[in-house]
Amino acid sequence: MDETLAKSALSSEYILDSLEDGIIFCNQHGIITYANDAAGQMTGLSQSNMLGRPITDILPRLPLLASANNDANTSQFELNGRFLRGRATTTYDHNNQAQGILTTLHDITPEHESEQAKDHFLKTVSHELRTPLTAIKGYVELLASGAGGTLNDNQKEFTYAIQRNVNRIVQLINSLIFASSIKSGRLEYSAGYTNLPQLIRQISRELQPKAAEDGQKITVKLDDKLQPLQMDPIHMATILEELITNSIKFNRPGGRVQVTAVSQTGNGNQQTFAIVTVSDEGIGIAPNNQEHIFEEFYRADSQHDTHIRAGGMGMGLSIVKALVEAYNGRIWFKSAPNQGSAFTFIIPNQPRP
Ligand code: ADP
């Protein structure tokens, strides 16, 4: 019997070493106790060199998030010239006591390269379109102001329609350029801190009249322990505005939008995190649309009139995700059709990237 068990232990190690994905296990103090062959190749260290070392030495971003004990435990990062998607999961024994963190690493270099080619294409097209569009916008404004001669009512209506649509395209192009600057690490950060409670209250107050048009109410729940975040307040405001505006857009009439912010400390280290959730009681997101929701231009198909009424270009959430990740944070959501959605993001309180 013992011999059989020993053989099966040997074969499971053999199986783990044959995997293309890297596997690293560390105890609850973050010390590596196991790494398979692929993890060695990905980190550029021999297995014996990894054992006994803190995982933070090798993968600085991943355990930080795993230790915050949240659902958003995946992260993408560059290591030794390859792009990896890491996933960290806390493991528990049969008494439900945390045992440690299991980390898997998957090489996503090809996907990353095609994503970069797409971003480059979008950036080039956006820049090329901006100049002629600025000219069109300027001339339509001149026409509408009567500078080219007095317009009759029909002509005025036509120029307003052109103006509205040109403005939409300009907005879209600005969003594309902003998204590409975040992704390529060219985001500009102003010095300063975000006072999260104050910002949440302010934005909720500003958006309340919009919510009230449909009988909705925005409620806010804040943790006293929240500390000033080392984050450009404009970036945090963009994230909050997008999420709260979406919640209002896709809510049911008379529904509630709730914004909650709590402070959390990671296990085993002194890292603090701000965790913010924006939830609504609206149309929700169908399971087959959920995996695409953060993609650029993605808008879920829906028969529901709320969605038709909602407008939008499908850029908001991709910008929100890129901004959250620029601060080493994560975003995820829970949603079910007609039962509302809850978007949550976590930002570590650490020096600006
Ligand atoms: P936009 O709102 O401009 O369409 P976003 O990127 O902000 O673009 O959102 C993408 C899509 O995700 C939306 O079109 C909608 O289908 C879905 N979505 C976003 N937020 C919510 C929400 N709170 N409830 C339901 N669906 C949502």
Cβ of 282 below 6 Å from ligand 1: yes
Whether residues 200 and 333 share a domain: the answer is yes
Whether residues 83 and 159 share a domain: the answer is no
Instruction: Give the pLDDT of residue 247.
Output: 97
Cβ of 280 below 6 Å from ligand 1: yes
Instruction: Give the pLDDT of residue 65.
Output: 52
**190 within domain boundaries:** no
What is the mean pLDDT of each successive set of 10 residues along the chain, which is 353 residues long? 61 85 90 93 89 86 53 73 87 86 92 87 88 93 92 94 91 85 79 92 96 97 92 94 96 97 75 93 93 83 48 83 89 94 91 55
**74 within domain boundaries:** yes
Range of the domain at 139: 112-183
Q: How many domains are there within the chain?
A: 3
Query: Which domain CATH number covers 316?
Result: 3.30.565.10
Instruction: Give the pLDDT of residue 304.
Output: 47
- AA identity, residue 112: H
Instruction: Give the pLDDT of residue 306.
Output: 47
The last residue of a domain, from among 77, 107, 137 = 107
Whether residues 120 and 86 share a domain: the answer is no
**333 within domain boundaries:** yes
Whether residues 299 and 313 share a domain: the answer is yes
Report which ligand 1 atom has the smallest distance to the Cα of 293. Answer: 12
Report which ligand 1 atom has the smallest distance to the Cα of 296. Answer: 6
Q: Whose CA is nearest to atom 13 of ligand 1?
A: 299
Whether residues 97 and 125 share a domain: the answer is no
Instruction: Give the pLDDT of residue 305.
Output: 47
Q: Are 177 and 126 in contact (CB under 8 A)?
A: yes
Whether residues 246 and 322 share a domain: the answer is yes
How far away, in angstroms, is 312 Cα from ligand 1 center?
A: 8
Residue to substitute in 299, 301, 339 for testing ligand 1 pocket (most ligand atoms within 8 angstroms of CB) = 299
Whether residues 48 and 126 share a domain: the answer is no
Whether residues 217 and 317 share a domain: the answer is yes
Instruction: Give the pLDDT of residue 190.
Output: 79
Residues whose CB is less than 8 angstroms from the CB of residue 318 and which lie 6 or more positions away in sequence, other chains included: 179, 294, 295, 296, 298
How far away, in angstroms, is 299 Cα from ligand 1 center?
A: 6
Cβ of 293 below 6 Å from ligand 1: yes
Pairing label, strands 32-35, 22-27: antiparallel
Query: Which domain CATH number covers 40?
Result: 3.30.450.20
Whether residues 223 and 282 share a domain: the answer is yes
**56 within domain boundaries:** yes
In whole angstroms, give the CA distance from residue 123 to residue 130: 11
Whether residues 124 and 162 share a domain: the answer is yes
Instruction: Give the pLDDT of residue 194.
Output: 93
